[in-house]
Chain A
Amino acid sequence: MTGSGANRFQTGVAKRLYRWLWRGLGGAFVWLWVAFSLGILAWIILAAFKRNDTVFADLWSLPDSIEGENFSDAWGLLNLARTSFNSVLTVGGGTFLTMAVSAPAAYALARMGFRGAGGLTAFFAFGIGVPVHSIVIPLFLGLSEVGLSNSLTGLTIAYVGVSIPFAVFLMTGFFRSLPTELEEAATMEGAKPVRVFFSVMLPLAKPGMVATSLIVAVGLWNEFLLALTLTFDEAKRTIGIGLLNTFGAMRYTSNWVGLFAAVVIMIVPMTVLYTWMSRRIIEGLTVGATR
């Protein structure tokens, strides 16, 4: 700070210039990225209303008329009546059961302070790193063994299994982040751990439960490898497989607009959920990951 006035003025200008550049370039970077992402989304949504013969001929035009024809095509291509029912059943059931078993486990790991809790937490976390690929063959054989291959029950159980590691990981973070006072008070009043868990900690952890179940549900809704290998009846297909099949059929039908309509149908429920709950999803993910 001992430099001459002119010098200080110079560094001041340089600093301002630098900041201005950084702001300008940075702003451009951020908004281009955002525009790009929204642009692709908007294009696909618009394309879902266009006609197949012109959709690629004139990329930037708006649809001439809003017709639902593509969507009724997509409804059939996705076999939506059947696949959405299967998806809701397996994703809903899988998410509910995942939470029912993961929340108590995470609570025990985070709060009960028994010997080996750290190791067991790491043991659960190991499951996050296991690629679904590396379990799918034995899993299929095991489920066949007990008569649960090609069954929605089997798929739901598999969904619970693959969701447990991440759910336990996130919920452990949540339970760690909760204040200890209420729990201590309840324990001193003589409440048993089960009671403490259900009447004190579970209500406190509700935001975490909501966020974790949303994250689990989104992941399972978009899942397709397990559904592809563990079920094979048309009647047992989930919506993810429906989309993959629609995509696969493209090579013969070239019904692109139908495919775009199918994409729109598939991402609508998650998008609605996301716009409505994005703060919770993001907070859930980050609280779990940052504690």
Chain B
Amino acid sequence: MVKSVGVLPGSMRRPRTSLHRQPGRSVPRQAGIFLAPALIIYLLIIVAPTVATIWISLTEWKGIGDEATFVGIDNYRRLWQDETFRASFNRTLTILVVGGVIVFACAFVFTMLLRELRSRKFVRAVIFFPNIVPPVALAIAWGVLLAPRSGLLNGFLEAIGLSSLTQTWLSPDLFFGSIMAGLIWIYTGFFATILMAGVDRVPNYFYEAAGLEGASSRQLFTRVTIPLTWDVLSVSAVLWVIVAIKTFEFIYALGGSGTDPSAASWTLPVHMYVIALGNRSPILALGQGSAIAVIMVIMVGLLVVLLRRLMRRGVVEF
């Protein structure tokens, strides 16, 4: 029953044309009834606040009780000139690009290796596991691992006689690298899982046929796996863009237990949270914070459209 969803033959997938498309007005009206509740809640909770955020980003405002003054694009201009903001922006870009390359490289390695492994279900369940654990708990685990004096990693390195390699992993210099490593650990499992599902859908006879033709495993990968999972890859790339730009809890919680993390670890969402909402000493720069939020939404939007465009070609129907 469960399985039947995953293994439908190709002809049954994506029925683009529906027989419901009858002449007459009843279809849109029925569709309206089906769509209205979700649409209304979505408009009220997501869309309207997003629009309001755009408005707030054009003002200077410290919250309820304060009169908002319209300042045009001043918030954006000031952000652009702010060194701290540019550093945060660059960190988000680094996660997006460098982190993305590593996450997808690892995910591909898992995908290829697990194709032949007998315990693949177990491995997949384990590597996906961080994605169901609260990010705060992951940050606690990462903190325990990397703590300077009593951390597991340094303790392990000392135990195996490599004490020269011990580092203060959470010092400002290495902090961002430690965050990246953590994010890679968390998200590789997520994307490997999705890619594996894509590979599972490729009928085995493609691999058999290519194998009979004498294709090497690298050729199998570049000539069979990649083209035939192109649409899954494209969805994964889009999801990565969203994840990389949005990711907040893990960094925030790793940065400090209950305090705002030091600026050396700020990414766009952390930066926004600290200046707008903050924990100990919020500056309540709601206008500027909203401007960062708008920048994030625009980044996601642009990159998603761009990726969709770039990756639209090359889909092989099978």
Enumerate chain A interface residues (CB-CB to B < 8 A).
15, 19, 22, 26-27, 29-30, 33-34, 36-38, 40-41, 43-44, 47, 56-57, 59-60, 100-102, 104-105, 107-109, 111-115, 117, 120, 124, 126-139, 141-142, 144, 157-158, 160-162, 164-165, 168, 174, 176-180, 183-184, 187, 192-194, 197, 207-208, 218, 221-222, 224-225, 229, 240, 243-245, 247-251, 259-260, 263, 266-267, 270-271, 273-275, 278-283, 285-287, 289-291
CA of A43 to CA of B150 in the docked complex: distance in angstroms?
13
Residues B132 and A244 in contact, CB atoms below 8 Å apart: no
CA of A163 to CA of B301 in the docked complex: distance in angstroms?
19
Asked whether any CB of chain A lies closer than 8 Å to the CB of B167, the reply is: no
Q: Tally A-B pairs: CB < 8 A.
A: 312
CA of A174 to CA of B64 in the docked complex: distance in angstroms?
43
CA of A26 to CA of B5 in the docked complex: distance in angstroms?
31
Known: A134-B294, A267-B137, A278-B125. A164 touches B194 (CB 8 A): no
Residue in B14, B39, B136 whose beta carbon sits within 8 Å of that of A105 in the complex: B39
CA of A282 to CA of B132 in the docked complex: distance in angstroms?
11
A133-B269, A134-B49, A244-B258 known; 8 new pairs, CB 8 Å cut-off, are: A40-B152, A104-B38, A128-B242, A135-B45, A177-B13, A224-B136, A266-B137, A283-B6
Residues A176 and B45 in contact, CB atoms below 8 Å apart: no
CA of A269 to CA of B209 in the docked complex: distance in angstroms?
46
Residues A224 and B5 in contact, CB atoms below 8 Å apart: no
Known: A129-B242, A138-B56. A113 touches B18 (CB 8 A): yes
Known: A37-B130, A112-B18. A243 touches B137 (CB 8 A): yes
By DSSP majority rule, is chain B's interface helix, strand, loop, or mixed? helix
Residues A179 and B8 in contact, CB atoms below 8 Å apart: yes
Which A residues are in CB contact (< 8 Å) with B155? 59-60
B 19-37 to A, binary, CB cutoff 8 A, 1 in contact else 0? 1110000011011011101
Residues A44 and B141 in contact, CB atoms below 8 Å apart: yes
Which A residues are in CB contact (< 8 Å) with B197? 282-283, 285-287, 289-290
Asked whether any CB of chain A lies closer than 8 Å to the CB of B193, the reply is: yes
- Give 7 nearest A-B pairs by CB, closest first: A161-B45, A248-B258, A286-B197, A134-B293, A56-B150, A138-B52, A105-B38
Residues B134 and A243 in contact, CB atoms below 8 Å apart: yes
Asked whether any CB of chain A lies closer than 8 Å to the CB of B257, the reply is: yes
Residue in B20, B145, B152, B201 whose beta carbon sits within 8 Å of that of A112 in the complex: B20
- B contact residues, range: 35 or more
Asked whether any CB of chain A lies closer than 8 Å to the CB of B165, the reply is: no
Q: Could you write out 24 A-B pairs with CB less than 8 Å apart?
A: A26-B109, A40-B141, A44-B140, A102-B38, A112-B27, A130-B300, A132-B246, A138-B49, A160-B41, A161-B45, A164-B42, A165-B46, A183-B19, A187-B19, A222-B135, A248-B258, A260-B140, A267-B137, A270-B132, A271-B129, A271-B132, A273-B132, A281-B132, A289-B197
Residues A34 and B127 in contact, CB atoms below 8 Å apart: yes
Q: How far is the CB of A33 from chain B (nearest CB, A)?
A: 6
Which A residues are in CB contact (< 8 Å) with B124? 282
CA of A197 to CA of B109 in the docked complex: distance in angstroms?
41
Which A residues are in CB contact (< 8 Å) with B34? 104-105, 107-108, 112, 193, 197
Which A residues are in CB contact (< 8 Å) with B6? 283, 286-287
Known: A221-B134, A240-B136, A248-B258. A290 touches B194 (CB 8 A): yes
Known: A111-B20, A113-B18, A137-B53. A164 touches B137 (CB 8 A): no
Known: A136-B277, A142-B48, A207-B1. A108 touches B35 (CB 8 A): yes
